[in-house]
Amino acid sequence: MDDQHLRCREAVTRCYSGLCDCGQPECYALQAAVTVYRFHNPGCNPLAAETIVSHWVAGAVRH
């Protein structure tokens, strides 16, 4: 993982957890985190950004 990718991931997870810790609804925290991700990756389409951010903040879904 390169330094820019790592900084982006840290910013996204910090945004998400900070908003959740302040009592904001999870859906608002997720949308804000996606916005941070798209700031760092403006060429990424919205669905892909949401998928990546969801994986970062919630981890892989296990069946």
d(CA 36, CA 14): 10
32: Cβ contacts below 8 Å, ≥ 6 apart: 15, 16, 19
pLDDT (0 to 100) of residue 60? 52
Sequence-separated (6 or more) residues with CB below 8 Å from residue 29: 15, 16, 17, 19, 20, 57
- Mean pLDDT score, 28-34: 96
Could you report the per-residue pLDDT of 37-56, keeping only the tens digit for each?
Answer: 999 999 999 999 999 999 99
For residue 63, pLDDT beyond 50:
no
Range of the domain at 33: 23-63
What's the pLDDT band for 13 if we cut at 50, 70, 90? very high
Q: Which of 33, 22, 25, 28 is nearest to 57 (CA)?
A: 33
The count of domains in the chain is 1
First-to-final CA distance of the chain = 27
10 lies in some domain: no
User: Predicted confidence band at 17 (pLDDT cuts at 50, 70, 90)?
Assistant: very high
